[in-house]
């Protein structure tokens, strides 16, 4: 046996003398020969022990079961394409030698990185795109604020140059001040990033980073800091360069003159760009939020509220005989059902949302036997009487299993709605017969006694497939026997976790019992990835919206400062407060409208990249786009209130006297 690092630390305190010790697992002694490093998480982080797979004659000669995965390392110079071609040839040879079991059975080679990143890669790429958009918004905002700040100091640059300061000195001062601001911001940003990474590492759902904890990446950090310094230097330096080229006599004569030409147009473009990028993020976040709502409301086919799960995996030679397993399940269920507050209890080989089921081929009575390689295949779950009541899956037709379905009685089976619709469309499936395997056996028929509602097998968003349920009393296989005990209670499910555990140990004091968990928690865990994505998207969108509002506020504040004399003259000549407000809001609305139009067009161009992340929501959902556009417009107009109010409260006499 090889120990996982976590198990070694938890159970043996990290002692080196564990090597050579004996650990009893399922009644069999194993000698500890090694401990894995903490970074080793293959094939998953939850594994604590590794034992060698033991081949015997029965397993070697069994060509019908395909439940093993093979991990290998390619020789140097061998490409995956070459290896795939070789495996294809081997599979073809096996199909020719064993047509009954290997026809149309291939072998697919997949890199380990693609295997683990495949499920989360689209989400990570979408998040990377969101981060990139947010980075652009932040850069535009920094540039905008620096341009506004430097423009307000244009008179200072004129005076300095007029008093003899060289233009190079003015440029160096502007550059030094901008870099100082950038360095302070970079230090704060790095500190926030370190804390954010730790928080995300704690909050991330399982499967996002199975290969280790999240850490700050030095190359990414260097890129971010460099971009901060470059943006601050470029846009903090631009107004000073413009001021140094302005006619000093004209600049000093006109005290109201600011660097409003190119820098003003640049600021308007930057604000419109911020609005556009923010709108793209907001639409994406809105669609992700609607996806999460749709997933939360998706039909599950079972009732998670009020039920809990306790795993009691049977192992060892004690429970290899079929009768021993049947007695264990029967005695445990009798004791658990007798507990006060328990309304139903049942065992299953796998609960919904955790496993696709053990694939079996099957034949339908009255239909010709398909040729090898074209057999119908579907997942099989082994359950006990009371399971459907405990998990809350409705029986649509017929009945569920009961205590009379024993080994010596007629073989029975329950199928789901998809199975009944596919193989007996428009007919009553109850009473029909089917058989497991690829060849008809005279006494191998199973009679369908019930049809239950479809339940998702792997995830909430995948369409339900055909599914077969067999009673544990008639399933003699040693592998894939029931291990998950589902208990439905009247009150809080976890309040009965202790009594249920005691009931199991009353039957077998040595039986391992895992920690109880509610089915609600299982469903929440199945949606954890989606919830995590939605939270990140919403966070990015809120930050982008805030930055866009700040940028618009800065531009309009600068606009009011630049046009104080104009507003004063207009008001002295009879313009009303509403007229001044209308002028300010008109320019703000033009910027918002331009940015919104550009944002919608930009999102439509990028929408295909998030289509795989949505569930029952169109990438061009008009309701979401309209709602997000209205929200962005409202926030932008709120950012205009203070500058517009300041413009409306200008005293014409004071303004004209100061000019």
Q: How far is CA 354 from CA 394, 414, 457, 523, in A?
A: 20, 20, 7, 10
Please tell me which residue, 611 or 413, carries the higher pLDDT value: 413
Average pLDDT over every residue of 520-527: 86
How many residues make up the chain in this entry?
A: 659
Closest among 600, 574, 601, 584 to 636, alpha carbons compared: 584
Last residue of a domain, one of 476, 491, 513: 513
In a shared domain, residues 406 and 277: no
141 within domain boundaries: yes
What's the token pair of residue 173?
Answer: 């001062």
Last residue of a domain, one of 513, 536, 554: 513
What per-residue confidence (pLDDT) applies to 659?
53
| Residues 6 or more apart in contact with residue 559 via CB below 8 angstroms | 584, 587, 643
72 within domain boundaries: no
**Count of helices and strands (H, E) across the chain:** 21, 16
The pTM for the full model equals 0.74
In a shared domain, residues 131 and 217: yes
3-class DSSP string for 510-553: CCCCCCCEEHHHHHHHHCHHHHHHHHHHHHHHHHHHHHHHHHHH
pLDDT tier for residue 196 given thresholds of 50, 70 and 90: confident
pLDDT tier for residue 3 given thresholds of 50, 70 and 90: very high
In a shared domain, residues 270 and 166: yes
Pairing of strands 433-436, 34-35: unpaired
Residue 100 has pLDDT above 50, yes or no: yes
In a shared domain, residues 292 and 415: no
pLDDT tier for residue 656 given thresholds of 50, 70 and 90: low
Residue 438 has pLDDT above 80, yes or no: no
pLDDT tier for residue 172 given thresholds of 50, 70 and 90: confident
What per-residue confidence (pLDDT) applies to 246?
53
CB 335 within 8 A of CB 508: no
Mean pLDDT is highest, among 224-238, 491-505, 523-537, for: 491-505
In a shared domain, residues 492 and 358: yes
Q: How many domains does the chain have?
A: 2
Q: What is the DSSP string of 36-78?
A: --TT--SS-TT--EE-PPPP-HHHHH--S---------PPTT-
| Residues 6 or more apart in contact with residue 45 via CB below 8 angstroms | 206, 210
Mean pLDDT of the chain: 82
Q: What is the DSSP string of 431-461?
A: T-EEEESSS--TT-EEEEEEEE----SS-TT
What's the token pair of residue 105?
Answer: 């059975």
Cα–Cα distance for residue pair 522/348, rounded to 1 Å: 15
pLDDT tier for residue 442 given thresholds of 50, 70 and 90: confident
522 within domain boundaries: no
469 φ/ψ angles, rounded to the nearest 5 degrees: -120, 130
Residue 306 has pLDDT above 90, yes or no: yes
Residue 284 has pLDDT above 50, yes or no: yes
If one counts every other C-beta atom within 10 angstroms of the C-beta of residue 640, the result is 24
Please tell me which residue, 21 or 150, carries the higher pLDDT value: 21
In a shared domain, residues 535 and 607: yes
In a shared domain, residues 367 and 410: yes
Residue 471 has pLDDT above 90, yes or no: yes
What's the token pair of residue 636?
Answer: 């932008």
**In angstroms, how far is CA 384 from the centroid of its own chain?**
34
Percent of the chain with pLDDT over 90: 25
Cis peptide bond upstream of 43, omega within 30: yes
Residue 257 has pLDDT above 50, yes or no: no
Q: Is 459 helix (H, G, I), strand (E, B) or coil?
A: coil
Strand partners, 470: 382
In a shared domain, residues 626 and 563: yes
Average pLDDT over every residue of 132-150: 77
What per-residue confidence (pLDDT) applies to 264?
66
What per-residue confidence (pLDDT) applies to 412?
94
Q: Between the CA atoms of 290, 291, 296 and 297, what dihedral angle is there, to the nearest 10 degrees?
A: 70
- Work out the angle at residue 436's Cα, subtended by the Cα atoms of residues 431 and 442, and round it to the nearest 5 degrees: 75
Cα–Cα distance for residue pair 66/115, rounded to 1 Å: 18
Last residue of a domain, one of 513, 547, 578: 513
What per-residue confidence (pLDDT) applies to 259?
46
In a shared domain, residues 279 and 175: yes
What's the token pair of residue 360?
Answer: 């079996």
CB 259 within 8 A of CB 243: yes
What per-residue confidence (pLDDT) applies to 230?
83
Residue 629 has pLDDT above 80, yes or no: yes
In a shared domain, residues 484 and 350: yes
Domain hosting 554: range is 121-297+527-658
- Element (DSSP H or E) covering residue 18: none
Please tell me which residue, 214 or 622, carries the higher pLDDT value: 622
In a shared domain, residues 139 and 211: yes
pLDDT tier for residue 389 given thresholds of 50, 70 and 90: very high
Average pLDDT over every residue of 146-157: 68
108 within domain boundaries: no
Average pLDDT over every residue of 9-35: 88
* Choice among 178-182, 405-409, 519-523, 565-569 with the minimum mean pLDDT: 565-569
| Residues 6 or more apart in contact with residue 10 via CB below 8 angstroms | none
338 within domain boundaries: yes
Pairing of strands 412-416, 376-383: unpaired
550 within domain boundaries: yes
601 within domain boundaries: yes
Largest CA distance in the chain: 109
What per-residue confidence (pLDDT) applies to 449?
95
In a shared domain, residues 288 and 322: no
What's the token pair of residue 83?
Answer: 């290896």
- Element (DSSP H or E) covering residue 347: strand 342-348
Indicate the angle between helix axes 167-203 and 154-162, nearest 10 degrees: 150
Cα–Cα distance for residue pair 260/235, rounded to 1 Å: 14
97 within domain boundaries: no
CB 566 within 8 A of CB 160: no
């Amino acid at each position: 046996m090889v120990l996982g690092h976590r198990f070694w630390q938890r159970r043996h305190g990290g002692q080196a003398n564990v090597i050579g010790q004996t650990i009893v697992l399922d009644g069999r002694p194993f000698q500890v020969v090694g401990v894995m490093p903490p970074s080793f998480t293959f094939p998953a982080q939850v594994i604590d022990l590794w034992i060698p797979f033991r081949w015997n004659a029965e397993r070697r000669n069994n060509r019908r079961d395909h439940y093993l995965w093979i991990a290998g390392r390619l020789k140097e110079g061998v490409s995956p394409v070459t290896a795939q071609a070789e495996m294809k040839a081997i599979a073809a040879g096996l199909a020719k030698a064993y047509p009954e079991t290997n026809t149309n059975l291939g072998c697919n080679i997949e890199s380990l990185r693609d295997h683990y990143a495949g499920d989360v890669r689209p989400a990570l790429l979408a998040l990377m795109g969101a981060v990139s958009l947010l980075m652009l918004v932040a850069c535009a905002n920094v540039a905008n604020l620096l341009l506004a700040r430097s423009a307000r100091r244009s008179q200072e640059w004129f005076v300095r140059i007029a008093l003899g300061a060289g233009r190079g000195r003015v440029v160096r001062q502007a550059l030094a001040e901008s870099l100082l601001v950038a360095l302070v911001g970079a230090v704060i940003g790095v500190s926030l990033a370190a804390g954010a990474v730790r928080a995300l590492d704690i909050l991330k759902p399982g499967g996002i980073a199975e290969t280790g904890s999240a850490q700050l990446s030095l190359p990414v950090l260097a890129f971010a800091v460099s971009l901060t310094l470059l943006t601050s230097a470029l846009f903090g330096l631009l107004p000073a360069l413009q001021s140094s080229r302005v006619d000093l006599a004209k600049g000093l004569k006109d005290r109201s003159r600011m660097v409003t030409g190119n820098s003003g147009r640049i600021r308007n473009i930057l604000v419109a760009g911020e609005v556009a990028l923010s709108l793209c993020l907001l639409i994406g976040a809105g669609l992700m939020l609607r996806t999460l709502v749709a997933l939360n409301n998706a039909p599950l086919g079972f009732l998670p509220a009020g039920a809990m799960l306790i795993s009691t995996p049977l192992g060892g030679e004690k429970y290899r005989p079929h009768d021993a397993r049947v007695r264990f399940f029967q005695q445990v269920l009798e004791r658990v059902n007798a507990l006060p507050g328990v309304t139903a209890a049942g065992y299953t080989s796998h609960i919904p949302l955790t496993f696709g089921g053990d694939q079996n081929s099957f034949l339908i009575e009255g239909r010709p036997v398909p040729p090898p390689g074209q057999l119908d295949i579907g997942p099989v779950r082994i359950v006990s009487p009371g399971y459907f009541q405990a998990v809350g899956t409705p029986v649509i037709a017929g009945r569920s299993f009961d205590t009379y379905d024993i080994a010596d009685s007629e073989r029975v089976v329950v199928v789901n709605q998809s199975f009944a619709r596919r193989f007996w469309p428009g007919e009553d499936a109850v009473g029909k017969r089917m058989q497991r395997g690829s060849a008809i056996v005279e006494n191998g028929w199973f009679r369908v006694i019930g049809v239950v509602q479809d339940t998702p097998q792997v995830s909430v968003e995948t369409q339900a497939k055909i599914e077969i349920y067999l009673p544990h009393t008639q399933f003699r296989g040693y592998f894939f026997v029931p291990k998950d005990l589902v208990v439905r209670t009247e009150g809080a499910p976890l309040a009965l976790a202790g009594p249920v555990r005691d009931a199991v140990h009353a039957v077998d004091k040595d039986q391992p019992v895992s920690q109880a968990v509610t089915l609600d928690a299982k469903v929440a865990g199945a949606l954890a990835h989606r919830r995590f994505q939605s939270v990140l998207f919403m966070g990015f969108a809120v930050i982008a919206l805030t930055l866009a509002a700040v940028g618009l506020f800065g531009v309009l504040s600068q606009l009011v400062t630049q046009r104080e004399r104009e507003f004063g003259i207009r008001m002295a000549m009879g313009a009303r407060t509403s007229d001044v407000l209308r002028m300010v809001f008109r320019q703000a609305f033009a910027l918002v409208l331009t940015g919104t139009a550009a944002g919608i067009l930009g999102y439509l161009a990028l929408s295909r990249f998030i289509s795989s992340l949505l569930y029952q929501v169109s990438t061009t959902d008009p309701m979401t786009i309209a709602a997000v556009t209205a929200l962005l417009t409202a926030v932008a107009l709120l950012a205009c209130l203070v500058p517009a109010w300041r413009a409306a409260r200008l005293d014409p006499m004071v303004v004209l006297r100061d000019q």
